[in-house]
Amino acid sequence: MRRKIIGISILALFMTTGLEAKVVVDNENFGLWIGIVALAAVGLGILYVSSQQARKMQRMHKILLDKQMEMEKNQNILLTTMSENIHSIAKQALEEGRQMTPPSKTNMDDTEENFSNVENRLLDVTNDLIDFLRLKSQKVEIVEEEFNINNVLNEVSGNICSKFAGSPTELIFDIDKNIPRDLVGDSLHLGQILESILEYQMDQANLSEVKLEISLFETYDENIEMQFKVTDTGLGLTTEALENLFIPYYNEEESSYVGLGLFVSSELTAMMKGKISVESTIGKGSTFTLGLPLKVVDTENKRMYRLPKKVLTTKQVFIVDDNYNAALALKKMFGYFRHDVTVITKEEFRRNIPNLTPYDIIVLNESLFTVRLVEYLSKIKMGKSFKVIALNSLLRADKKSFVDDVIDNHLFKPLNQERIFELIVNLYDLKDAAYPARKDENEKCVLTHKAHILETRGTTHESFKDFAGKHILIVEDNLINQKVLTNLLHLSSMKLSIANNGQEAVDMVKDKKRKFDLVLMDINMPIMDGYTATQMIRLDSKFDDLPIVAFTALVLDSEIKKMFHSGINAFLAKPLNIAKLYTAMAMFLLEAPLKEVPARKIEKREIESYDGINIEEGIRRSNGNEALYLEVLKEFSEAYGESQDIFAKLIKEHRYEQIKMLCIDMKGLSGAIGAEDMHTLMIEILQLFLYKKYEIIANYQEKYSFEIQTLKRSISKYIKSI
């Protein structure tokens, strides 16, 4: 088109020039004719140059437009797939780390164990989601209660080692000698924070070691500051990764929120008036430092662990482990009891086994035991009484331990002061000192099942109707666990009561107005733990026939013995498995022997269709745990059920950054619960922020209100249908 215009202009110019030339010739005005021709030539030159410039500008415009479109496309891809890329990198790193794990056996037990580990991790994601929602709705409360720091560490180590079973990483607890046994603070949230940090670090690739160091700084009066420093030997984090470490994001590929654990931990730390910080060096690893103000229960009692006999102190101890840092941490714990401790490296021990006759306690890593060493130790034992301890990691406790008569006990890392205290007492047959006295176990009138509980195949929510009419006492300090259990059992026509700690449980059991048929007893609780509560109940012979089933995260022989010595009848490992819970309850509440309980055919329950939410998909994203999913939905409704008012207010006040944060939260939450329409709407709104089209956001106010109200009504209908 442009060429046609130029052509017509040139033709017109020539015609005009010809006409003018004729006039000039006629008038014999050659000067004027020459001027006009020159002017025409200049015009033609200007038109040509202008045309070339226009073409150049057009090409440049097209190039810039293409680049802009490419940039916008890349930004769009970045927004929608950033979490996928991060997840893929993390997943790849995790796989690389796991490639270092020795090949596992190919039998069915290992396959089931691997599935169990994955399920445990997925359950934690759902629990973090509930905590996230409770924080958003400001329902989380910080409590100040007396607790045993060792119970918290046992719970944390049990949970972490269950999730990372088989990992080659060495997990070490390095605890200063001056750490008090009994403290005042929020033990539940302390354990949650430590677990989140350790889980994050254990997930890093190419790890050889993760170490938790606990130290104490006195401040004033009864107050202290506890410092928990967690260091890994991983690849380290970039500056950008550090800046985004406590910011959760939604992973579209996995349909789940990622990074909620650290976000929740950061918020809880602030609520507990503490501080959390992270330092990292590429190629060397990362260090989390958590500082929390706590109180000491007994400031006068500097030594919280007192061996019952003086003869048990000042022992000669020899330690060799495959991890030297772990051996040094263990040396510190034995040193607390005034033992003289010698530590050498594994390599040094293998080169030249030293003379072991001067020692009273020998602690050796299980990998060091050979036929030659066993023969040597046996010869020493023939002429001297000394104790041999086989040392291993709790992460690999599922593997077969080295068994021989020369070994007096097995010890599993990570360790704490109380477990070393109990080990020393038990080595010298002073069990009554390690565990408070109670009546002989044989005097109990109720069955004691000391083995691990097996699953009853085909167990569903409906199965628990077999126990209709029974009165169950649930002793649990974790609100989420309380709700999960009540959601699971509330349709079974059982009567349920809740105790928040061991002291409440003792008071409720001894209340003459109530009679319980079974007690589900958590072990790690503030004020009074499950061991002590069970002992207090067993002191009264009226409750000899009351079955008590314990929940515990740390399933070791030493802990199991401690439970049964306390008077517990059976134990269930955390996290909750409903098929095992049914088995435990059937043992004590059904008249027919357990083996005669008929297997149940699993029938898939038909779930109604609801506007705005895919319930089946939401349950799947909660690892198939409908009880947990119900809690997520309830907390979501309370936290965001009226968020259309907030959305409208933010639009009115042009607070676009806050709108963006709300939509980011809602995008992740709606995806996690299966609210597909709301999830799509959030992606659409977030696109507007990408292109800075803030003026259009107001048009979405009505859509947002419609979707959130539809979602809230559907959630309400679903909850009522359960």
Specify the pLDDT at position 84: 35
Specify the pLDDT at position 189: 97
Phi-psi category of residue 191: left, alpha or beta, with phi > 0 → left and psi -120 to 50 → alpha: alpha
Q: Is the peptide bond before 102 cis (omega within 30 degrees of 0)?
A: no
Against a cut of 0.75, is the pTM above it? yes
Q: Give the contacts of 382 (CB within 8 A, at least 6 positions apart).
A: none
Average pLDDT over residues 83-91: 35
Q: CA-based angle 698:701:702, to the nearest 5? A: 130
Residue 356 main-chain phi, psi, to 5 deg: -100, 0
DSSP 446: S
Specify the pLDDT at position 431: 53
Specify the pLDDT at position 710: 97
Specify the pLDDT at position 461: 82
Report the amino acid identity of residue 463.
S
Q: CA-based angle 461:463:467, to the nearest 5? A: 110
Q: SS3 letters for 147-189?
A: EEHHHHHHHHHHHHHHHCCCCCCEEEEEECCCCCCEEEECHHH
Average pLDDT over residues 30-48: 62
Q: Note the pLDDT tens digit of each residue in 141-176.
A: 999 999 999 999 999 999 999 899 999 999 999 999
Specify the pLDDT at position 109: 44
Average pLDDT over residues 381-396: 91
Specify the pLDDT at position 199: 95
Q: How far is CA 593 from the centre of its chain?
A: 39
- Report CA-CA distances (Å) from 149 to 152, 259, 295, 503: 5, 26, 12, 18
Specify the pLDDT at position 518: 97
Q: Note the pLDDT tens digit of each residue in 411-450.
A: 999 999 999 999 999 898 765 444 444 545 444 457 888 8
Distance CA 631, CA 127 (A): 9
**pLDDT band, very low/low/confident/very high, at 42 (cuts 50, 70, 90):** low
Report the amino acid identity of residue 209.
E
The DSSP bridge pattern shows strands 361-365 and 145-148 to be unpaired
Residue 204 · residue 163 · CB < 8 Å: no
Q: Could you tell me which residue, 356 or 76, shows the higher pLDDT?
A: 356
Residue 221 · residue 330 · CB < 8 Å: no
**pLDDT band, very low/low/confident/very high, at 679 (cuts 50, 70, 90):** very high
Q: Could you tell me which residue, 109 or 324, shows the higher pLDDT?
A: 324
Specify the pLDDT at position 176: 94
Specify the pLDDT at position 274: 97
Residue 68 scores a pLDDT above 70: no
Which range (64-73, 377-386, 555-564) has the least confidence? 64-73
CA nearest 159: which of 418, 489, 481, 502? Answer: 481
The single residue listed with the structure tokens 């890593």 is: 365
Q: Could you tell me which residue, 5 or 384, shows the higher pLDDT?
A: 384
Residue 392 scores a pLDDT above 60: yes
How many CB atoms are closer than 10 A to CB 119?
16
**pLDDT band, very low/low/confident/very high, at 607 (cuts 50, 70, 90):** confident
Tokens of 586: 């059937």
CA nearest 467: which of 593, 570, 590? Answer: 590
Tokens of 256: 């789940």
Specify the pLDDT at position 129: 87
Tokens of 152: 């918290």
Q: Note the pLDDT tens digit of each residue in 504-513.
A: 999 999 998 8
Specify the pLDDT at position 22: 44
Residue 570 scores a pLDDT above 90: yes
Average pLDDT over residues 664-692: 93
**pLDDT band, very low/low/confident/very high, at 491 (cuts 50, 70, 90):** confident
Residue 245 · residue 278 · CB < 8 Å: yes
Distance CA 199, CA 158 (A): 12
Q: Note the pLDDT tens digit of each residue in 260-318.
A: 899 999 999 999 999 999 999 999 999 999 999 999 988 776 567 888 888 888 899 99
Distance CA 628, CA 618 (A): 10
Distance CA 254, CA 667 (A): 14
Q: SS3 letters for 48-115?
A: HHHHHHHHHHHHHHHHHHHHHHHHHHHHHHHHHHHHHHHHHHHHHHHHHHHCCCCCCCCCHHHHHHHH
As a whole-number percent, the residues of the chain with pLDDT over 90 amount to 58
As a whole-number percent, the residues of the chain with pLDDT over 70 amount to 76
Residue 475 scores a pLDDT above 80: yes
Residue 288 · residue 229 · CB < 8 Å: yes
Residue 49 scores a pLDDT above 70: no
The DSSP code sequence of 217-244 is EE-STTEEEEEEEEEE-S----HHHHHT
Average pLDDT over residues 627-632: 89
Q: Note the pLDDT tens digit of each residue in 610-619.
A: 999 999 999 8
Residue 76 scores a pLDDT above 90: no
